[in-house]
Amino acid sequence: MNELANNALANSFAFNNAWLIPALPFFSFLLVGLFIRPYSEKLAGIVATLSVSTSAALSLWLAFDYFSAFPAGAEHPALVSWSFQWLRYNEYLVVNVGTLIDSLSILLMVVVTFVSSLVHLYSIGYMKGEDGYGRYFTYLNLFTFSMLGLVVAPNILQTYIFWELVGVSSFLLIGFYYTKPSAVAASKKAFIVTRFADLFFLVGILLIAVVGYNLMSLFGVPNGLPENVSAFDFAFITNSGVSTMMNNFGILTPALILIFIGAAGKSALFPLHIWLPDAMEGPTPVSALIHAATMVVAGVYLVARLFVTFAASESALLVAAYLGAFTCIFAAIIACTQNDIKRVLAYSTLSQIGYMMFALGVASATETLGYTASLFHLFTHAFFKALLFLGAGAVIHSVHTNNIWNMGGLAKKMPITNITFLIATLAISGVWPFAGFFSKDEIIAAAFGNHHYVIFAIGLLVAGITAFYMFRIYIVTFLGKARSEAVDHAHEAPMTMTIPLMILAALTAVVGFIHFGDYVSVASIITGDATGHAEGGFPIWIPALLSGLTGIGIAWFMYGGEKDRATAVTEKLGVIYRVICAKFYIDEIYQFITHKIIIRFISTPIAWFDKRIVDGGVDLTGWLTRRSGATLSHLQTGQTQTYAAWLINGVIAVVVIIWLYAS
Amino acid sequence: MNPAELTHTIVFYGLALVSIVAALLVVTVKRIFRAAVALATVLVCGAGFYILLDYDFIAGIQLLVYVGGIVILIVFAVMLTSSLEDTEIRPSKSRKALGIISSLGFLATALIAFQSTSFPLSAPTPEQPSDVALEIGRKLLGYGSDGYVLPFEIISLLLLSAVIGAIVVARNPLKKSSDLSGQSEQSDGSAT
Amino acid sequence: MSFVPGLFHWLCLSTILFSIGLYGVMTRRNAVGVLMSVELLLNSAAMNFLIFNHFAAKPFIDGAVMALFIIAVAAAEAVVAMALFVAIFRSRKTVDVTQIDTLKG
Amino acid sequence: MNILNMIIAPELIVALTGFVVLITDLFIEDKKRHILGPIALIGILLASVSVCNLLPETSSMFGGRFVFDPVAGWFKLFFLLGAAFTVIFCWQSKAREKLPSTGEFYSVLMFTVVGMMFIISARDLITLYISLELATIPLFALAAWRKGDKLSGEAGLKYVIFGALASGLLLYGLGLLYGLSGSADLLVISQTITDSPALWLAGALILAGIGFKITMFPFHIWAADVYQGAPTVVTAYLSVASKSAGMAFMFQILFGIFGNALSEYGWLIAALATATMTLGNLVAIVQNNIKRFMAFSAISQAGYIILGFLGPFSESVPSMLFYLFIYVFTNMAVFGVIIYYSDTTGKEEIDDYKGLSRTNPAIAFVMMIGLFSLAGIPPLSGFVGKFFLFSIAAKAGYHWLVAVAAINSTVSLYYYLRIIRQMYMEPPAENAKKLPISKTLALTFLLTTLAVILLGVIPHVYETIQTQTTNWLPTLNQLP
Amino acid sequence: MGLVSWLFILPFVTALAVIMTPAGRSDLVRKIALAGTSLHLLLTGYIVYKFIQVATFSGEGVKEALITQLYLVEKITWFESLGIQYFVGLDGISLFMVVLTSIVIFTGILASWSVVERSKEFFALLLILVSGVFGVFVSFDLFMFFMFYEVAVLPMYLLIGIWGTGPKEYSAMKLTMMLMASSALILVGFLALYHGSGLETFDLIEISKVHFPIAFQNWVFPTIFIGFGVIGALYPFHTWSPDGHSSAPTAVSMLHAGVLMKLGGYGALRIGLYLLPEGAQNWALFFMGLTTINIIYGAFAAIKQKDLKFFTAYSSVSHCGFVLFGIVTLNMIGVKGAVIQMFSHGIMTALFFGLIGMVYGRTKTRIVTEMGGLAKVMPWLAVCFYVAGLASLGLPGLAGFIAESHVFLGGFIGNPWTDATTMRVLTVIATMSIVVTAVYVLRGLGQVFQGPLKEQFKTITDATLTEKISTGVLVATLAIVGLAPWFFIDLIEGAIYPLINRLSLNANTWMTF
């Protein structure tokens, strides 16, 4: 790392107090939450938005400084700009809370702050008139703070801490309309499912930390690491010497799988995805921010952060790949049958995250293209998915219903929303000029490059299905004739809502052309250089684009014309359609497991057992003493002569006992 | 066995027989007055035993105090508490059994114990101190390390308090108030 | 065993008298009867002292003095007991020990 | 020779007070009868003063027949204290608890105190037995003092029969001891007796005598009925002074005669202590009459005191004396309230104490402090006393016994709390009103409560007893 | 009297002052009690300040120490023939506990502002109970320790019996009986220690210099651990806690769950672990199994509870399981976690019970299903309730996480005397409790505060000033401990080094920290 770059960065304002980026939302959270909220709601909104936008500007500045110090293509070091010792378990297990700056964290910081400030702006309009307006912005700021804290964490325990805080703020935001029982249930479900996954994450951390601690206490600090490194620090965990040693201890793969389950829980991969669709109960900007751009990608970020260790263990990445691919295809199929606009977008998010996860999964120590592709897709997806959600929000805001079948013909009524929604739909379907095309194409290329042909095929298929269900909802909501009278007095969203839409639309158009590989990539162990772009070979983008276009065609064919051919097709599918529509009854299975088994067969018997047996035992002793007291009291017969007998036999008894004892 | 020992043994067994029979009568006879008489005979035989043991002074005291005083007192009590004729009802079967078992049990344990312990017999000095009565008198009032003047004083206090107690308890109240419970007793304070 | 009454024979005598006294205390229903059995006990205890004095502590006469005191104590006891029986007879019209058992439980 | 410093002075003073009270009773009319109480009190006070200035040294009279040593001194103080409280309660009770012929009552009481004082100072069988009888026979009469009342008569009857039988057995035992050792002097006996079946029989018989006096397990049967039947003032006296006399007698026998054999028979004492404690506590749970309840509580307390005989004597004698000292105060505090309450309201059942804390909180507080000290709750002195006793049992290695004793004191807490529940948690009966209390009684309650609280916290009391009585046992054996 | 003695004399004096107030003025009683406790808060603060000045808790002398280093010590002979002294002092752990108790009693008095019926006796008994607790935390003489322990336990009977609700006599009696029976076990243990050590003293520091034989330790350690475990809600002996807490008035259950249950943990640590290391090693695995059941059992039982107080009682059974679990991990991190958990759980439960009392004061019901949507009418209480709930499920940023992370880490690191794999399996089972806790916390709070507001609760008012201060103080403490743990952690660490050093003193392997 050359000196010039280092000192150029050393005196850059942004780098030195990078801690301001997460700190600003935190201070505004405290300020708004405690003081401003009770007094004026409007001011709360403004202050919240201002703080997040300043930290967005700061992170842009930091990105500029960083990449000017380490130009594209060069090696991007991970620098801890500021940290202090928060908690000291013992001398090898120390938690230094601080900010770690490298290309990955800058990418996430930019995305999070940018989308969050847009959502804040959008919410000022969307939430006007709702009660708890101030409370909403406080939660939003808390969320942004915890997300940023998670992203800049230099050690895995700080990640876990902010991981939990993100979970709590999502719980608060989902349950914002707490008078609605369904919102309360959804927030509870979200928190408990993520908490369940965090359990595995915590056990994973403990396992790695303790083994690391044992290694360090036996062999000392591995060379090349600073003296006061702790077993929690990413530098220690991702250190190649350490991971090989852990591997031949045989605990690396189980630990990483545990951590991956934690990531899967937060990013709603297959078995733990049930909470995301229900999370739509929260206000739409929340879904846009949390369930599109930021929180759900935390899992991807974590796997990316530990990519080197994951690559060191053979099977961990494979698990990620196959689970990602399955979620991708599974969610896409369900998305085609949903009628609630936000549910469709939720399932589409699930499938896109499946994309990112299996992109990481297909990458390996040698072939690191997948890593770049996944992060590129994360970057682009954040923008167009946020746009889709905000667009849907605008639609719902004016039509006051989520069901796409009583919308229709909104294009004329809401021109800006229509255009921006169209751009986003094209982007996600992978049509050429928009961002989705480039990132999705790169993922498919990476899958093909690493000879994962099955996953490659799934990728292609899902690209088509995505295009199909996206255009299905576009056509049904915006084109065709109005299906309910609510549509008549629909009106264009106010300025504060349309500006973010337009900005996002512009971004989705432009961002595809960035040579992402030069900025965000990880050096492959063998070649040493980062393979940013899929070189030469068969141009993968052609089949990808073709499947996208066929998807659009089918959608147009089924929903475009007057005759609704769609219902015909669904009858033919019959029972299959009903199963997909009911989301494969996964929710009912969970419901059965949690309520029936846990409540009925575990906690009730325990509560009963506690009341009857353990409590009974105590009462039994009480009863026993009283009973023996009563029987003994009957010895006092009142007859003087029996008393005399007692006395004499007492003497005889004592003599006999002494005699027995003496002999 | 020289003649003195012979008479000694015969008298011993004779008296023993009489006193045991009389004792059994005391505890079993139905009419209480007859029991009192039987008690008197037991005590008289007791005095006889003391003479055998060469303690004729004690025998005299026994006859005088025990038979003369206490038995007469008991006879008074018998007359005061019940008419001469009324007979006592038999103790219940189980109570009698319990009594027999316990007393025989005690007897057996005591005898086995005496059987198996060798008592430190004092050397059989032929002559008895000149006069037991004189010796006892000296002991009773002696101040020295072997005197018993202290118990002598204490017994006097004991007898005094016993008599006072007996008077207070046995005094019949002046007023023939029907309600004998303690409540009414208070009104007139202690009858002098 | 020789017929001449040694220490063991005397002890047998006094213990027999003692046990008869015990039997009397346990079975006599009339309070005065019980008192008589108690007199029996005390008398056999006094005899016991004299026996031991005669056989085990010949030159000294502590036993005899004790016997004297026992007679005195017996007298005192008899006095108190009789007073009590008279008082009870007056209030309950009976001295049958088995019927006087209101205090129990 | 100044009368006050003769070592027999205390006994003489008490006997003298007895006579003085008896004679003044003859010459004053009915109305002025209430001055007899103060006279008795002054007598007791004088006697305790003379005991106090005699206390630290050890000396003997009558050629070693009568010995005054610190242990005897402390025991005499306990007897005098017990008697003083009894006199005060008898003197202050006006209505239901008023005893007939108080003059005779006080004098007989004085004589029994003299008897008790002689027990601890006797050094030969005859004095020991006669003083024990002096301490017991008049109690038969005291128990039946209220001759009109059926229950008091029945109590007296049972007490007479049981007492006579016990003294018969004791006498038989002493006879055997005399036979085995050939002499009547305790010192000679303790040096000559060897382990033999007859000795075991003698031991058992004497144990019967002791057990009767301190209500130990197989011989405790009489206690409940007599405590309930006798007038409450006498019950108080029985439970405190008579039990201390029993302890004095047990000291003389176990330390005096069986001193060296005691450690071998520790298991017997442990067994008897466990039985007494457990039986006393268990049966007390189901009692309803307050006097009968206190009888069983007294039985269980006897169980705790016997623990002292297990341990090393240099430490156990002071602890037992300290516990007795606390026991006198605590029991008298509780009995005082019982007597006062039954005197003013005539009720003796536990449920009658309903809501006492609302009607007169001070009395309820005194009762609560007394009961908590009996149960052994810190920081009261009952806890400190029990702690030292248990520590002796632990030192002697009987850890299981300490566990049993501790569990027993928890069970005892249960039934003491039953009364406190009645007083503090139940609403008072409708017609309950504030009860009048005389100044002297209030002063006595104050004194007892202060003693119960301070005795545990202030170390000097235990320290003085400890310094004076640690090396008591060796001195016991070499006096001429 | 030195500074530290004032810790337990001040509440006692306030109690006397409360009793002395004239009958008519019941509001004066509350004010005096509040004045006394706030004065106490200042005193504790001053003592902490003095302690930090004089104590060294991170120098190198500390790491190898074998004997607890006490500060601000006062020693007066009491019964010198038996070796009993008035021995009072402070080390890291007891200082921490003193701070906890001082805060809890201050908030407790505030939370019971509405007690009017016989308030004089109520506040007097409460203060006597607290002076007993302070006495336990500062005394280092076994006799004094035991004396204060029983003084702390007994007022509970009257407090629950007179001012309680529901089956108050039954639960008061059960609670007192079980705690006194446990003190019987402790008494046996103490006397065994006193006589086993051979030297004639009850002084904890002197006795700790003696190395007891292994067989002796093997039976004394379980006696003492179970004796203290009963009040620390060890598994089979915890049944008094649900009944006791549900029928106790607010301040009493705040004090009891918050502070009295910590006596168990503190005693097991100070007496059990410190004096009997080998005993602890042999019994560690057994008690670890028991405490793991404790944690899971309490959590699962809490799910089913309908009554808020039962719900919190079972949750505190589960959290107290963490304390005992931490102690039997026998390594520095685990034991440190146990101490922090004692503090954090103390504050948490005090907050919980305080809030339940306030909610009950308004809705007159504690049954969860009867309430709903209360957040709309009492936002302050709802926020505090959620903070307490989140702290109890171990949300980072609040005290619960610091303690639980220590305990889990301690469980994972293990110690040379117990087999590591079983220990790790048990720790994983214990970690599962964070999910179950989340389930029952959110279920309970969701039913009470979220959902549609019922008709009859429309007119409820939010927290009054006193309630705001008391809940505010507790929430602030939770946040401070959660956010800035570094300033008090090494204070505790310094106090735990001697305990851990003694563990490996005679064992073959030297314990790496």
Cα–Cα distance for residue pair E310/E242, rounded to 1 Å: 5
CB-nearest to A653 from D169, D212, D218 is: D218
| Whole-number pLDDT of residue E510 | 47
Q: Are the Cβ atoms of C50 and B107 closer than 8 angstroms? A: no
Looking at B61, B89, B117, the residue that finishes a domain is B89
D-E contacts at Cβ under 8 angstroms: 84
In terms of CA atoms, which chain D residue is nearest residue E168? D425
CATH number at residue B27: 1.20.120.1200
Question: How many residue pairs bridge chain A and chain C with CB atoms within 8 Å of each other?
Answer: 28
C-alpha distance from D407 to closest chain C C-alpha (Å): 24
The answer to whether A487 touches A408, Cβ cutoff 8 Å, is yes
Tell me, yes or no, whether C24 lies in a domain: no
The burial class, CB within 10 Å (0-12 / 13-18 / 19+), for C81 is buried
Structure tokens at D284: 């007390």
Poorest-confidence range of A426-435, D439-448, E341-350? A426-435
Q: How many CA atoms lie within 13 A of E453 on its CB side?
A: 14
Q: What is the pLDDT of residues D378-415, one digit of tens each?
A: 889 999 999 989 988 988 888 999 999 999 999 999 99
Residues E409, A93: C-beta atoms closer than 8 Å:
yes
Token pair listed for A294? 């930021």
More confident position, D453 or A413: D453
**SS3 annotation, E388-402:** HHHHHCCCCCCHHHH
Residue A517 has a pLDDT of 73
User: Counting every residue, how long is chain D?
Assistant: 480
Is D148's Cβ below 8 Å from some Cβ in C?
yes
Distance from the Cα of A637 to chain C's closest Cα (Å) equals 6
- Residue E512 has what pLDDT? 46
Put simply, whether C81 touches A (Cβ < 8 Å) is: no
Residue E74's H or E segment, with its range, is strand E71-79
For residue B189, the distance in angstroms to the closest alpha carbon of chain C comes to 19
Query: How far apart are the CA of C68 and the nearest CA of chain B, in angstroms?
Result: 7
Whether C85 sits inside 8 A of B89 (CB atoms) is no
CB atoms within 10 A of CB E330: 26
B143 is a domain residue: yes
Asked if D307 contacts D247 with a C-beta cutoff of 8 angstroms, the reply is: no
Q: Return d(Cα A370, Cα A516) in angstroms, integer.
A: 12
State the ipTM, two decimals. Answer: 0.87
Sign of the torsion angle spanned by Cα atoms B51, B55, B57, B62 = negative
Interacting residues of A568 by C-beta distance below 8 A, sequence separation 6+: none
Q: What is the pLDDT of residue D5?
A: 62
3-state secondary structure of E276: coil
Cβ(E481)–Cβ(E343) under 8 Å? Answer: yes
Give me the pLDDT at residue B45, please. 93
Closest CA–CA distance from residue B102 to any residue of chain A (Å) = 6
What's the confidence (pLDDT) of residue D113?
A: 95
Kindly report the nearest CA distance between residue A622 and chain C, in angstroms.
21
Q: How confident is the model at residue A27 (pLDDT cuts 50, 70, 90)?
A: very high
Q: Report chain C residues whose CB lies below 8 A from the CB of A641.
A: 25-27, 97-98
Contact between chains at D417 and E181 (C-beta distance less than 8 A)? no
E97 pLDDT higher than 60: yes
**Cβ contact (<8 Å) for B102 and A645?**
yes
**pLDDT tier at D272, thresholds 50, 70, 90:** very high
3-state percent helix, strand, coil for chain A, nearest multiple of 5: 75, 5, 20
Q: How far apart are the first and last CA of chain E?
A: 39
d(CA D435, CA D430): 14
* Domains in chain C, number: 1
Q: What is the band of D116 on the pLDDT scale with cuts at 50, 70, 90?
A: very high
Measured in angstroms, the CA of D219 and the nearest CA of chain A are apart by 5
**Which of B95, B99, B109 is the closest to A652 by Cβ?**
B109
pLDDT computed for residue B83 by the predictor = 63
With CA atoms as reference, report the closest residue to A332 among A343, A348, A320: A348
User: Chains contacting A with at least 3 CB pairs below 8 Å?
Assistant: B, C, D, E
Distance in Å, alpha carbon of C24 to nearest chain B alpha carbon:
5
Domains contained in chain B, number: 2
Mean pLDDT over E252-262 rounds to 90
CB contact under 8 A, A87 and E432: no
Per-residue pLDDT tens over the stretch A569-579: 777 777 777 77
d(CA C60, CA B122): 10
Whether residue C47 lies inside any domain: the answer is yes
The letter for the amino acid at D217 is F
CB-closest option in B114, B157, B158 to D198: B114
| Mean pLDDT, residues E416-422 taken together | 86
Residue-averaged pLDDT of chain B: 81
- State the Cα–Cα distance between residues A422 and A418, nearest whole angstrom: 6
CA distances to A265, D162, E297 from A205, rounded to whole Å, are: 15, 79, 25
Q: Model confidence at B164, in pLDDT bands (50, 70, 90)?
A: very high
Decide if D167 touches C, using CB distance below 8 A. yes
- The whole-number average pLDDT for the span A374-385 is 88
Cα–Cα distance measured from residue E343 to residue E345, given in angstroms and rounded to the nearest whole number? 6
In a domain, C15, yes or no: no
Q: Are C16 and C43 in contact (CB under 8 A)?
A: no
Q: Is residue C103 part of a domain?
A: no
**Cross-chain Cβ contact C101/A641 below 8 Å:** no
Contact A626 D286 (CB under 8 A): yes
Higher pLDDT, A495 or E102: E102
All structural domains of chain D with their residue ranges: 261-470
Mean pLDDT along residues E42-47: 93
> Among B83-87, E290-294, E489-493, whose mean pLDDT is lowest?
B83-87
pLDDT tops 90 at residue E228: yes
Sorting pLDDT into bands at 50, 70 and 90, what band is E372? confident
* Cross-chain residue pair C97–A641, CB shorter than 8 Å: yes
CB D334 within 8 A of CB D371: yes
Euclidean distance between CA atoms D235 and D339, whole angstroms: 10
What is the residue-averaged pLDDT of chain A? Answer: 84
CB contacts < 8 A (C, D) = 131
Radius of gyration of chain E (CA): 22
Report, as an integer, the average pLDDT of B143-153.
Answer: 83
- How far apart (Å, rounded) are the C-alpha atoms in residues E108 and E40? 13
Does B178 score more than 50 pLDDT?
A: no
Question: What pLDDT is stored for residue E513 in this prediction?
Answer: 43
Contact list, D425 vs chain E (CB under 8 Å): 161-162, 169
Domain region containing B8: 1-89
Q: Taking a contact as any Cβ pair under 8 Å apart, which residues of chain B between 133 and 192 contact chain A?
A: none
Contact B109 A655 (CB under 8 A): yes
> Which residue, among D156, B81, B182, has the nearest Cα to C80 in the 3D structure?
D156
Greatest extent of chain D over all pairs of C-alpha atoms, in Å: 69
Does B176 score more than 50 pLDDT?
no
Which residue of D lies nearest to E220 if distances are taken between CA atoms?
D399
B106 touches chain D (CB under 8 A): no
Q: What is the average per-residue pLDDT within E153-165?
A: 88
Q: What is the mean pLDDT of chain E?
A: 88
Per-domain residue ranges for chain E?
Answer: 3-507
- In chain A, pLDDT over 90 holds for what percent of residues? 12
Residue of D nearest to C28 (CA): D161
Domain boundary (B38, B69, B89) is at: B89
**CB-CB contact of E76 with E85 (8 Å):** yes
Plot region of D397 (φ>0 → left; ψ -120 to 50 → alpha; else → beta): left
Structure-token pair, residue D447: 């004194």
- Residue D75 corresponds to which amino acid? F
Percent of the residues in chain B that have a pLDDT greater than 70, as a whole number = 82
Q: What is the pTM of this model?
A: 0.89
Chain D touching partners, 3 or more CB pairs below 8 A: A, B, C, E
pLDDT tens track for E68-86: 888 888 888 888 888 888 9
Measure in Å the smallest separation between the Cα of C17 and chain A Cα atoms. 15
Average pLDDT over residues B122-134: 66
In angstroms, the separation between the Cα of residue A180 and the nearest Cα of chain E is 6
Q: Which residues of C touch D129 (CB under 8 A)?
A: 66, 69, 73
Q: Write the pLDDT tens digit of every residue in A305-351.
A: 888 888 888 788 888 888 999 999 988 888 888 888 888 899 999 99
Structure tokens at E376: 């709309």
Suggest the residue from A641, A654, A663 to mutate for an interface test with chain B (most B CBs closer than 10 A): A641
Q: How confident is the model at residue A527 (pLDDT cuts 50, 70, 90)?
A: low
From E178, which residue of chain D is nearest by alpha-carbon distance?
D410
In a domain, C62, yes or no: yes
Does residue A631 belong to the interface with chain C, where contact is any CB pair within 8 Å? no
Residue C2 confidence (pLDDT) above 70: no
- B113 touching chain A per CB within 8 A: yes
CB proximity C11 to A under 8 Å: no
Alpha carbon of C4: minimum distance to chain D alpha carbons (Å): 20
CB contacts of D176 in chain C (<8 Å) are: 48
Residue B174 is predicted with a pLDDT of 59
Q: Are residues B18 and B67 in the same domain?
A: yes
Residue of chain A whose alpha carbon sits nearest to that of E301 = A607
Q: Does E20 touch chain D (CB under 8 A)?
A: no
What's the rounded Cα separation, in Å, for the pair A264 and A273? 8
Interface of C with A in 22-51 (CB under 8 A): 22, 25-27, 34
Is residue C21 in a domain?
Answer: no
Q: Is A654 on the interface with D (CB under 8 A)?
A: yes
> Residue D475: what pLDDT?
63
Report how far apart, in Å, the C-alpha atoms of D325 and of each of A317, B105, D299, D375, D390 are: 82, 40, 17, 16, 17
Secondary structure letter of residue D341 according to DSSP? H
